[in-house]
Amino acid sequence: MPSSERFAALQSIQRRKPTAVEPTPALEKIWASDVFTLGKMKAALPKDAFKSIQRTIREGGKLDASVADVVAQAMKEWATSRGALYYAHVFYPLTNLTAEKHDGFIAPQSDGSAITEFTGKLLVQGEPDGSSFPNGGIRSTFEARGYTAWDVTSPAFLMPTPNGLTLCIPTVFVSWTGEALDKKTPLLRSNAAMNQQAQRLLKLLGNKEIAPVNSSCGAEQEYFLVDNAYLGLRPDLLLAGRTLFGAPPAKGQQFDDHYFGAIPERVQVFMQDVEHQLYRLGVPAKTRHNEVAPGQFEIAPVYEAANVATDHQQLIMTVLKSTAKKHGFTCLLHEKPFAGVNGSGKHVNWSIGSSSHGNLLDPGHTPHDNMQFLLFCGAVIRGVHKYGSLLRSVVATAGNDHRLGANEAPPAIISIYLGSQLEDVYNQIRDGELKGSASGGVMQLGVDTLPEFPKDPGDRNRTSPFAFTGNRFEFRAVGSGQSVAGPLVAMNTILADSLSWVADQLEARLGGGEPIESAAFAVLKQITQEHGAVIFGGDGYSSEWHEKAVRERGLENLRTSADALPVLRRPEVRDLFARHGVLSPVELESRYEVYAEQYVLAIEVEAKLSLRIARTQVYPAVTAYLGDLAGSLQEQEAIGLSPSRAIAQEIAGFAQQLLDKTAALEAALGSAPHGSEAHMAHCANTLLPLMGELRAAVDGLESLVDDNAWPLPTYQEMLFIR
Ligand code: ADP
Ligand code: MG
Read off the pLDDT of residues 523-538 as tens digits, 9 standing for 90 and up: 999 999 999 999 999 9
How many whole angstroms from 474 Cα to the centroid of ligand 2? 7
Distance of CA 493 from the midpoint of ligand 1 (Å):
21
Sign of torsion, CA 475 478 480 482?
Answer: negative
Phi and psi (nearest 5°) for 449?
A: -105, 150
What's the CA gap between 151 and 168, in Å, rounded? 12
User: How many domains does one find in the chain?
Assistant: 2
Of 140, 163, 181, the domain-final residue: 181
142 — pLDDT class (breaks 50, 70, 90) = very low
For residue 218, report the distance from its CA to the centre of ligand 2, in Å.
9
Phi first, then psi, for residue 168 (nearest 5°) are: -105, 130
Please give all residues whose beta carbon lies within 6 A of any atom in ligand 1, as ranges: 216, 218, 220, 300-303, 349-351, 359, 457, 471-472
Q: 639: domain range? A: 599-720
Max CA separation in the chain (angstroms): 105
357 within domain boundaries: no
Decide which of 181, 216, 242 is a domain's last residue.
Answer: 181
CA distance to 271, 276, 300, 684, per residue, from 159 (Å): 18, 13, 21, 39
Measured from the Cα of 349, ligand 1's closest atom is 26
Q: How far is residue 561's CA from residue 679's CA, in Å, rounded to a whole number?
A: 12
Cα 98-128-115 angle, rounded to 5 deg: 105
Task: Please give the pLDDT value at position 131.
Answer: 63
Q: Is residue 128 part of a domain?
A: yes
Residue 721: the pLDDT is: 56
* Least distant ligand from the CA of 216: 1
Of ligand 1's atoms, which has the minimum distance to the CA of residue 350? 25
300 CA: nearest ligand 1 atom = 14
Q: Cα(348)–Cα(486) distance, rounded to whole angstroms?
A: 11
Does 714 fall in a domain?
yes
Please name every residue paired with 166 in a beta bridge, in sequence order, or none if there are none: 86, 159
Q: Which of the listed residues 181, 207, 238 is the one where a domain comes to its end?
A: 181
Q: Which atom of ligand 1 is nearest to the CA of 457?
A: 4
Residue ranges of alpha helices (H) inside 580-687 are 585-613, 619-638, 646-669, 676-682
- For residues 427 and 210, what is the distance between their CA atoms, to the nearest angstrom? 31
CA pair distance 589, 591, nearest whole angstrom: 5
552 inside domain? no
Q: Is-above-0.85 flag for pTM?
A: yes
Tell me what the mean pLDDT of segment 685-705 comes to. Answer: 97
Q: What is the amino acid identity at position 616?
A: T
Q: For 275-284, 291-300, 441-450, 699-708, which range has the lowest pLDDT when averaged over its residues?
A: 441-450
Kindly indicate the confidence band of residue 357, based on its pLDDT and cuts at 50, 70 and 90.
Answer: very high
The answer for residues whose C-beta is within 8 angstroms of residue 309's C-beta and 6 or more apart is 216, 217, 218, 219, 301, 303, 484
Q: Is residue 575 part of a domain?
A: no
Residue 150 pairs in a beta bridge with: 171
pLDDT score of 232: 87
675 CB neighbour count, 10 Å cutoff: 11
Count of residues making up the chain: 722
In this prediction, residue 323 carries a pLDDT of 95
Alpha helices by DSSP H, 45-104? 47-59, 65-81
CB-facing half-sphere around the CA of 436: CA atoms within 13 A: 10
Please report whether residue 409 resides in a domain: no
Q: Specify the pLDDT at position 342.
A: 87
How many Å lie between the centroid of ligand 2 and the Cα of residue 302? 12
b/e per residue, 245-281, with b = 16+ CB within 10 A?
bbbbbeeeeeebeeebeebeebbebbbbbbbbbbbbb
Nearest CA to ligand 1 atom 4: 457
Helix locations, 284-387, DSSP H: 306-326, 367-386
For residue 288, the ligand closest to its alpha carbon is 1
Helix, coil or strand: residue 582: coil
Residue 662 lies in a domain: yes
Q: Which residues are within 8 A (CB) of 214 and not within 5 positions of it... i.e. 6 or more apart? A: 191, 195, 305, 306, 352, 353, 354
Measure the CA–CA gap between 383 and 401, rounded to whole angstroms: 23
Helix axes 646-669, 619-638, angle to 10 degrees: 160
Residue 699: alpha-carbon gap to chain centroid:
30
114 in a structural domain: yes
Ligand nearest to the Cα of 472, by number: 1
Nearest CA to ligand 1 atom 1: 457
Report the Cα 129 to chain-centroid distance in Å: 26
Q: Which residues surround ligand 2, an ion (CB under 5 A)?
A: 347
Element (H, E) at 693: helix 688-702
CA–CA–CA angle 65, 68, 69 (5° rounding):
95
| Share above pLDDT 70 across residues of the chain, in percent, rounded to a whole number | 93
Q: What are the residues facing 177 on neighbouring strands?
A: none
Residue 628, domain CATH:
1.20.120.1560
The CATH number covering residue 52 comes to 3.10.20.70
Ligand 1: residue whose CA is nearest its atom 19: 303
Going from the Cα of 455 to the center of ligand 1, the distance in angstroms, rounded, reads: 11
The pLDDT, as a whole number, for residue 88 is 92
Indicate which atom in ligand 1 lies nearest the CA of residue 469: 2
Question: What percent of the chain is modeled with pLDDT above 90?
Answer: 71
